Structure 1
Amino acid sequence: MAKRTRKKTARDLDQYKRREANKYENPIPSREFIVEKLAELAAPMKMAALAEELDLSTEEDLEALRRRLNAMERDGQLVRNRRGGFCLVNSKDLIAGRVIGHSNGFGFLKPDEGGGDLFLSPRQMRVLLHDDRAVVRVVGVDNRGRKEAAVVEVLERGNHQVVGRLYLEHGLGFVVPDNKRIQQKIVVPSDDLKNAGHGQMVVAEIVEQPTKRTQPIGRIVEVLGEHMAPGMETDVAIRTHELPVEWPGAVESEISHLGKKVPEKAKKGRVDLRDLALVTIDGADARDFDDAVYCEAKPNGWRLLVCIADVSSYVMPGSALDKEARERGNSVYFPDRVIPMLPEVLSNGLCSLNPEIDRLCMVCDLYISKEGNIARSRFYEAVMRSHARLTYNEVADMLIEGDPELCKKHADLLPHLHELYTLYDVLHTSRSVRGAIDFDTTETRILFNDEHKVERIVPLERNDAHRIIEECMLAANVAAARLLLRKKLPALYRNHEGPKAEKLLNLKEFLGELALKLPGGEKPQTKDYADLLESVKGRPDAHLIQTVLLRSLSQAVYSAENQGHFGLAFPAYAHFTSPIRRYPDLIVHRAIKHLLISGTAEDFTYTQHDLQGLGEHCSSTERRADEATRDVASWLKCEYMMDKIGDLFDGIITSVTSFGIFVELDEIYVDGLVHITALNHDYYHFDPVGHRLTGERSGRIFRLGDSMRVQVAAVNLDDRKIDFVLDTDATPSADKPRRSRRRSRKKTSATVSEKPVSQKKQEKAKKKMAKKRVQKKDKTKKV
C-alpha cells in the first residue's frame, strides 16, 4: 500500500520555523513569511483571509496572528486600510519613519528604511509631535526641491509627557515645552493644574494627542519648581527627553539576588586569565571599568588581549533587565550625574573590572603584525583579575615622563605597558597609512562650586595614554565586525557614510575659492580627506578648512546592514568594547557567543528585521542622550554668562548663517550669536558656499574661523541663547566705495539693511502709501 504524503502547511514553508519554534511554544508563521505572502498576493488582506492563507484556524493561532499583525503595524511593516485590510509599507507608495520637529513649526520624516528625509509642512505637523512615528505618502515637491509628504497614519506617539514652563491666563494653563522641537503648547484645564504657579517648571502628561483641529491637552503631574533652582537644568532635560531614571519593580526583583562576587560555578568552562597582567586604563573620575588590556611582543609582531566585561552573562534576552537596558539604549553622562544603562550593582559592581577581583569577561585575542595589521583574531569567554586600576595621566607619566615613583610602584607592569606603547606607535602609523581622518576638536568639562553653580569651563586634554586605549578598542571592534561578516550572522554595525552629493558639491566650491582641491572625484575616499587636512597644517585658515570638511560628513548610526565606517577608513566596524554603557555592544556580544556554540542565522535570537529596528532605536537613544546633554550644557553656559553682560571677550566664528554669525569665546568655550541686525551701517550678503557674510559698501567679510572681539549683549535662559554685539572700538571703518542699494537687494534675499530709519521718515512713508491707496481707489471708481 502506497505511503500517504502529508500536505505541506505554511509552517513547513517558513524558512524561519526553527527560530519561531525556539521562541514560542505554539509558533505561527514568522514576520518574514507574512511579508512574503502579502507581497505574493499583491492586495490588501483582512485578518480572516490572511489566516486562511497561512493555514491558521484554532483560536490560539488566530489570537497569536492578531498580536503579530498589530506588532507589525506598530513597527511600520504593515498599515491597515479603512476596510481593515493589511497592506505592505513600501518605499514607493507608503513610507514609515520617525518625525523630527523643527523650532519653526515644520518637520521632517526620517524613513525607517533609509533614504532622504521628507518635508512635513506646519499644516501636516498639526497632528504630530517631535519623535512620533508615522506612515506618510509623497504628495509633491516644495519650492526648495524637497519631497513633501502627507500623513496617512500615526503609528506611535513619542511623547507621553512634556516638561516646560507653565503660563496662566484667565484660569487656563498653557505649558510651553522646553524642547523647542515641539512647537505646540499643551493646554491644561484649570482642574488639572495641581496648584502649580505661573512661571514654574512643570511636567504635563498628555491626555489627548493633537488633531487637525485641536491642540494637545494635558494635566500637571509634577511641579519641578522655580526654573533657576540648582540642578533644575538636568531635571528638566531628563523629563524633556523622557530619559528613564527609576528602575521598574521587575528589574529590582531580578537583581535582588546578585552579590559582589562572581559565583564559582559561573567561572567554570572559561579560559583562566587571572595570572595575566591585565590592567584597566581610564579617567581619574571613572567608576565603571568595562575594558582591560594586555600586550606582549611576538616574533612577527604583538599579541594584544582586549578583555571586555561579560554583561551578556547577567542580562538575559527578554528579561525585565534586558527590556529596560534596551529602552535606555545607553548611559547618559551629565555634568553633575550619570543615568546608567544598567543598575549600579552591575555597572559599578559585578560587571566592572575592578582591581584584584575575579570578573567574567569576553576576550578579543589579537595577533598584530609589525605593520599594524590584524593577522588573526579569536574570541572566547574567560575569567580575569585586573592587576591595577590605572589612570590616563599615570600611564602618560610613566611612559612619557618616566615618573620614578610610579615606575617603581608598577615595576611588574611596566614592560607590558612599554609594549603597549610600542604597539600604539605602529597602529597609529597604520592609521595614517590607511587614511583615517583625525579631526582636532576640543571637548569641555563644566566644573561646579559648592553651591552647584558653574565655576569655570575647562578643555579636556588628551594624551598618548588616551590614544593607546583608543587604538586597542578600534582593533577589537574591527575584529568583531569581521567575524560577524565572515559568519554571515545578523548583527548591528556602526556605519558612517561618506559625504552626500550636495554637501560634496558645496565643499568643492568652497575649497576652490581657497585654491584647494579634494581628490577622489565624485566619490572621494577617507584618505583624500586626510591628505587634504595634512596639506593645510600650518595655514592660518586650517581650522576653517577642518570645520567645513567635518560638516560635509554624515552622522554615524547603527544598522543591520554593513556600510563601513568612512571616518575611520574601515570596511566594517561594530561596537564591542562598551556593553556596560551601550546596548548595541551587548547585542554584538550575544551574536559572538551564539557563534561560539556553533549557532547559525536560522536559530539566532534576532532576525535581520529585528536588528534593523534595534539599530534605529539605538541611534535614536544616542541622539536623545546627545540632545539632553547639549541642552544641559547650553543652560549651564547661559547661567554662567548671566553676570557677564557688558563684558568684552575675544572669540572665533564657528558658524555663519543668513541671520548672523555664531562666535565661540576663547578660553571659556561659550558660544553666542551676533545677529545680522547688530552688524551696523551696512547691507550684508550671505554666501553659504564660502561660509561668509560680506558687507556691500564696506566690503567687510565675516567668515568661518575668523577671530573677533565681541561684547555680551543679552542672555536668555529659557531659549538657551546668548546674544553678542561687535566691540565698537574694534570695528574698522568702511574701506570700499558704496554700491547701488537697489541692485544689491535684487541679488539675494539674505541682504539686510542695518541703517536705522528715523521715526519721521517712517511716518512720512506711511502717509505716502496711504495717499497712493486713496488715489488708486478713486481711479477704480472712475473706471
Structure 2
Amino acid sequence: MLEEVEGIVQGHRDGHGFVIRDDGEADIYLPPNEMRAVLHKDRVKARVVRCDRKGRPEGRVVEIVERSNHVIIGRLLCESGIWIVAPEDKRYGQDVMIPKAATGAAKAGQVVVVELTEPPALFGQPVGRVKEVLGEIDDPGMEIEIAVRKYDVPHVFSEACIAQARGLPDAVRLTDKKHRVDLTDVPLVTIDGEDARDFDDAVYCEPAKIGRGKSAVSGWRLLVAIADVSHYVENGSPIDVDAYDRATSVYFPRRVIPMLPEKLSNGLCSLNPEVERLCMVCDMMVSPDGEVTAYQFYPAVMWSHARFTYTEVAAILANTRGPEAIKRKERVTDLINLHDVYRALLKSRERRGAVDFETVETQIVCDEAGRIEKIVPRTRNDAHKLIEEAMLAANVCSADFIAQSKHAGLFRVHEGPTPEKVELLRNFLKMTGVPLSIGDDPQPADFQAIAKATQGRPDTQQIQTMLLRSMQQAIYTPMNSGHFGLAFEAYTHFTSPIRRYPDLLVHRVIKAILAKSKYQLPTLPIPGEAHAKLSKRLEKNLASRVAQPGQKPRKLSVDMQAWQAAGLHCSANERRADEASRDVEAWLKCKYMREHLGEEYSGVVSAVTSFGIFVTLDAMYVEGLVHITELGGDYYRFDEARQELRGERTGIRFALGSRVRVQVSRVDLDGRRIDFRLLSDNEGLSTRSSKERDTSGSSEDKGQRTPGEAIRATQPGRRERQTGEPKPRVKSSKRAVSPKASEPEKSKTRKPRRRS
C-alpha cells in the first residue's frame, strides 16, 4: 500500500498545486484535475502515485482533513447575471460564486473580502458571501488593505488591548523611576531616518581608560539605551497578547502597522527628544581594537538631548565646522567619539571576517495619493554604519549575558550554507573565473575574502548576489548555534522592542537575571501550518548537534519547547511581514510601470532561469522578465553552474551581469508581473566559438538547483507568443530538486534590512 502523508495545499497560478508535507520531505505535485476539489491552504492527505521523468513525486488527494478558514480577497464581477469574485491571489485557482443575496452593499468592480460558505467540489465551484467591502481598486492605499488580509496580518487591536493602552500614563511617573539609574544628565541622542516616528535606541560615547596602572589603554565607554517596553507591557496582558500575535511591526510605503498601540510605540516608549523615558542600558567598555572588554545591563531613566537624522550626522562628521555642525555644536564632540568607537568596532568586524556586502537598497517615494513618484537608491553612510555597529555590540552582549547565566531565551541564529548550496556556489565561482573558492566547511571570512577579491569586476554585484543566495535565512530559536554572517558565537535581538517581540522577550529575560529570578513565558499558542518546515529544520539541527554516534537525540524540556514555539512563531511572522511588504512594493511598481508601457531602457540581468532572464532597469530599479520566447529563434540551454542561458546556434549568452536594452511590453497588476521585450540593438552580449560550445557542456551541472531564490515575487508564468518567430526551446542542464523548484511562483528573495 502506498504511503499517505498529510500536508498543506499550496496552489499555483497555472492551475496545478503542491502538498507541502508536514514531515519536511519533497513537496508532492498535484495536477490541475486534483486541484478541482481543494483550495490553496487546505489541509489534505495525499498519496504519491508516480514520479515524473525528473524524479519528482506526483500525488493524488485521498482525503481533505481540514478546510482553510482563510478569507479570500478579490474583485466582485457580474458575468451574464452571475456574480463571482475573482481572487486577487492567483494561487486560488477558482472563482468564487456569490449568490445575489450574499453580495451585500458591494458593487460590481469593487474589491471585497469573501467568506466561503460551500467548499469546491469535483464538479462545482466554491460558494461564498461578501464579508467586507474594501473599495475601488484605484483607491489610495488599496494595495495595503489587500496585502494585510491576503497575508493575514493582524491590523486591528483588540478592545481589551485598546482599553489597557488608554489607561497608561502620558509621561514617566515618580514611582516608575524607583530602582533605576538616573542618566538624565548623560547626553544620549537618537539617530534615525528622516521619516522615523518611533525611536527605540539612543547612544552616547566618551573616551575612557581601560585597565589599571601602566597597562591601562585609551578606549571608550559606549552606552546603548533601549526603550524599556517591558515596564509597560506586562507578561500575558492584553497588550502583550496582541503584540505576540503580531510579533513584528510591518512597514509599507507611507504606512506602518505597529506591533504596539500608538500610545506606546510613538509616545510613552519612544525615546523622543527632551522628555524623560524609561530604558534598559547596555553599558560597554570598548578597547582600541574594537573588543568589548566589559559590559553591564541596568534599568535607567534617560533624557534624549537631541534627535538626529542619518543625513545630518553624516554631514557633521564630514565637516565638523560646517553649517550642520554649527547648529549642533554642543553635540559635535559626542558624535566624533561615536565615530571613533565605530571605527574601532569596524576593526573587530574585519578580524572576525564578518560578511559585509555593499548591496543596493531602494526607497519608494510616493505622493499624497499613494502613487510612486520615483524609486531612488538608499545610500548607507557612516551614520548608518555607526548605529549598526553600536546595536550589534549591544546585541552580542545581551546574547552573552543570557548564555553565561544559562537562562533560556531566544537567540538570533544564522547557520552556514547547506552542502547543496556550497556545491552550487563553488561551481559558479569556478565557471566565472573567481580565483578563490570555498571548502566543505566554509567560514564567514571565506565569503568576505571572495567579495574583496572580486571588487571592481563588472560582475561584482552578481557575485555578491550569489554569495548571499547561498546562505540560509536567520531564525529565532532557543538553541544557540551562532550567527554565520556576522561571525558571532552568540547573537540575539535586544535593540528594537517597540517593533520586534523577540527583543521584548530578551528584555524580560535580562531583567529576570538581574533580579536573580527566572522568567516564565506566558501560555503561547502551538505553532500551526506556517511553522511546519521551520520546526523540521530546528529538529534536524538539534539532532545533529546533541546526538552522539549510536545515541538518540535528547528531547527538549517543556520549558525549551515553549521557547521553541515562541521562536517559530516570531520567525514565521517575520517572513509574513516581509512577504506582505514585498507584495505591496510589487503592486506599486507594476502600477508605476503601466505609465511607461512601450518605453525603452537599459538594464542588467539580475537573475537567470530556465524560462528567461530577469532584468533590473538602471533608471528605475524595477525588475521584469524577458521570457525565453522573446530571446530570438535559437535553442537556449540553461547552465546552472554559470547562471546563464546560452544559444546553441548563435552562442549568445545571457548571464548574470549582462547589460541589455529592453522595452516595457506588458504589465499585469493582478499577477504583480512586468514583462520586457529584448531589443535588437543590444551590445555586449557574449558569444562563444562552436568549439567552446561543444566542450563547455561537459563540466556543467555540478550543483543542485535552489528553489528559485533569485527570482522576485513578480514573476510571470509562460505566456502566449505574439510574434511569428520560431519558438525557441530551452534545455536545462540539471534537473530540479522538486516540481516547485522550476516554477516561478514558488521562488522567493530576501531583502536586506537596516539592522541585523
What is the identity, as a one-letter code, of the residue corresponding to 2:484? F
Asked if the contact 1:685/1:693 (under 8 Å) is kept, the reply is: yes
CA deviation profile, 1:742-783 (whole Å, cap 9, x unmatched): xx99x99x9999997799xxxxxxxxxxxxxxxxxxxxxxxx
Tell me the residue number matched to 1:246: 156
Give the superposition deviation at 1:548.
1.2
Q: SS of the residue aligned with 1:299? A: strand
Tell me the residue number matched to 2:232: 314
CA deviation profile, 1:564-620 (whole Å, cap 9, x unmatched): 211111122111110101111111111111212212378998822222222222122
Matching of residues 198-347 of structure 1 within 5 Å: 198-208=108-118, 216-300=126-210, 301-347=219-265
Asked if the contact 2:155/2:257 (under 8 Å) is kept, the reply is: yes
Give the superposition deviation at 1:145.
5.1
Give the superposition deviation at 1:490.
1.9
Q: SS of the residue aligned with 1:609? A: helix
Asked if the contact 1:698/1:734 (under 8 Å) is kept, the reply is: no
Asked if the contact 1:684/1:751 (under 8 Å) is kept, the reply is: no
CA deviation profile, 1:648-671 (whole Å, cap 9, x unmatched): 101011111111111010021111
Give the superposition deviation at 1:461.
1.6
Tell me the residue number matched to 2:345: 427
Give the alignment partner of residue 695 of structure 1, picking from 640, 647, 651: 647
The range that moved more, 159-168 or 453-462, is: 159-168
CA deviation profile, 1:236-288 (whole Å, cap 9, x unmatched): 11221222222221112111222321111011111111111111001111110
The structure with the larger Rg is 1
Tell me the residue number matched to 2:446: 528
Determine the C-alpha separation between the residues in 2 that align with 1:214 and 1:421.
67
The range that moved more, 347-356 or 543-552, is: 543-552
Tell me the residue number matched to 1:572: 490
Judged with a 3 Å threshold, the aligned counterparts in structure 2 of structure 1 residues 320 and 727 are, in CA distance, closer, same or farther, namely same
Tell me the residue number matched to 1:592: 510
Asked if the contact 2:651/2:690 (under 8 Å) is kept, the reply is: no
Determine the C-alpha separation between the residues in 1 that align with 2:720 and 2:13.
25
Determine the C-alpha separation between the residues in 1 that align with 2:69 and 2:597.
36
Matched, 1:460 2:378: yes
TM-score (norm 1): 0.77
Judged with a 3 Å threshold, the aligned counterparts in structure 2 of structure 1 residues 374 and 438 are, in CA distance, closer, same or farther, namely same
Determine the C-alpha separation between the residues in 2 that align with 1:155 and 1:278.
56
Asked if the contact 2:654/2:686 (under 8 Å) is kept, the reply is: no
Tell me the residue number matched to 1:726: 678
Give the alignment partner of residue 660 of structure 2, picking from 681, 702, 708: 708
Q: SS of the residue aligned with 2:290? A: coil
Asked if the contact 1:356/1:385 (under 8 Å) is kept, the reply is: yes
Determine the C-alpha separation between the residues in 2 that align with 1:335 and 1:131.
28
Determine the C-alpha separation between the residues in 2 that align with 1:251 and 1:563.
36
Q: SS of the residue aligned with 1:730? A: coil
Determine the C-alpha separation between the residues in 2 that align with 1:249 and 1:655.
47
Determine the C-alpha separation between the residues in 1 that align with 2:17 and 2:131.
28
Tell me the residue number matched to 2:432: 514
Tell me the residue number matched to 1:62: none
Give the alignment partner of residue 612 of structure 1, picking from 564, 567, 572: 564
Asked if the contact 2:426/2:437 (under 8 Å) is kept, the reply is: no
The range that moved more, 399-408 or 700-709, is: 399-408
Tell me the residue number matched to 2:300: 382
Give the alignment partner of residue 84 of structure 2, picking from 154, 171, 174: 174
Tell me the residue number matched to 2:30: 121
What is the identity, as a one-letter code, of the residue corresponding to 1:616? L
Asked if the contact 1:682/1:755 (under 8 Å) is kept, the reply is: no
Determine the C-alpha separation between the residues in 2 that align with 1:599 and 1:623.
33
Give identity over the alignment, percent.
49
What is the identity, as a one-letter code, of the residue corresponding to 2:18? G
Tell me the residue number matched to 2:714: none
Determine the C-alpha separation between the residues in 2 that align with 1:603 and 1:166.
44
Q: SS of the residue aligned with 2:330? A: coil
Give the superposition deviation at 1:204.
0.7
Judged with a 3 Å threshold, the aligned counterparts in structure 2 of structure 1 residues 386 and 419 are, in CA distance, closer, same or farther, namely same
Judged with a 3 Å threshold, the aligned counterparts in structure 2 of structure 1 residues 531 and 600 are, in CA distance, closer, same or farther, namely same
Determine the C-alpha separation between the residues in 2 that align with 1:699 and 1:462.
40
Tell me the residue number matched to 1:109: 20
Query: Where does structure 1 lack aligned partners over 5 or more consecutive residues?
Result: 1-92, 760-783
Asked if the contact 1:437/1:526 (under 8 Å) is kept, the reply is: yes
The range that moved more, 533-542 or 603-612, is: 603-612
Asked if the contact 1:397/1:403 (under 8 Å) is kept, the reply is: no
Counting matched residue pairs gives 660
Give the superposition deviation at 1:207.
3.5
CA deviation profile, 1:114-156 (whole Å, cap 9, x unmatched): x666445357767765556788899997765567888899887
Asked if the contact 2:52/2:58 (under 8 Å) is kept, the reply is: yes
Query: Where does structure 2 lack aligned partners over 5 or more consecutive residues?
Result: 211-218, 525-558, 702-716, 727-756
Determine the C-alpha separation between the residues in 2 that align with 1:307 and 1:373.
19
Tell me the residue number matched to 2:413: 495
What is the identity, as a one-letter code, of the residue corresponding to 1:701? R
Q: SS of the residue aligned with 1:163? A: strand
What is the identity, as a one-letter code, of the residue corresponding to 1:590? R
Determine the C-alpha separation between the residues in 1 that align with 2:12 and 2:320.
53
Tell me the residue number matched to 2:548: none
Asked if the contact 2:496/2:503 (under 8 Å) is kept, the reply is: yes
Matched, 1:622 2:574: yes
CA deviation profile, 1:393-422 (whole Å, cap 9, x unmatched): 111111122243333333332222211111
Judged with a 3 Å threshold, the aligned counterparts in structure 2 of structure 1 residues 244 and 706 are, in CA distance, closer, same or farther, namely same
Tell me the residue number matched to 1:348: 266
Asked if the contact 2:272/2:307 (under 8 Å) is kept, the reply is: yes
Give the superposition deviation at 1:355.
0.9
Tell me the residue number matched to 1:546: 464
Give the alignment partner of residue 642 of structure 1, picking from 594, 597, 617: 594
CA deviation profile, 1:461-492 (whole Å, cap 9, x unmatched): 21100000000111111111112222222211
Determine the C-alpha separation between the residues in 1 that align with 2:395 and 2:663.
46
Judged with a 3 Å threshold, the aligned counterparts in structure 2 of structure 1 residues 665 and 180 are, in CA distance, closer, same or farther, namely same
Give the superposition deviation at 1:544.
1.7
Give the superposition deviation at 1:627.
1.3
Determine the C-alpha separation between the residues in 2 that align with 1:374 and 1:100.
47
Tell me the residue number matched to 1:563: 481
Give the superposition deviation at 1:702.
0.5
Determine the C-alpha separation between the residues in 2 that align with 1:151 and 1:487.
50
Determine the C-alpha separation between the residues in 2 that align with 1:478 and 1:143.
49
Give the superposition deviation at 1:549.
1.2
Give the superposition deviation at 1:208.
4.6
Task: Determine which structure has greater relative contact order: mean sequence separation of CA pairs < 8 Å that are 6+ residues apart, divided by chain length.
Answer: 2
Tell me the residue number matched to 1:581: 499
Determine the C-alpha separation between the residues in 2 that align with 1:626 and 1:526.
25
Q: SS of the residue aligned with 2:248? A: coil
Determine the C-alpha separation between the residues in 2 that align with 1:363 and 1:155.
50
Determine the C-alpha separation between the residues in 2 that align with 1:129 and 1:484.
44
The range that moved more, 479-488 or 288-297, is: 479-488
Determine the C-alpha separation between the residues in 1 that align with 2:685 and 2:355.
41
Q: CA RMSD in A?
A: 3.5
Tell me the residue number matched to 2:617: 665
What is the identity, as a one-letter code, of the residue corresponding to 1:160? H
Judged with a 3 Å threshold, the aligned counterparts in structure 2 of structure 1 residues 324 and 129 are, in CA distance, closer, same or farther, namely farther
Determine the C-alpha separation between the residues in 1 that align with 2:194 and 2:722.
54
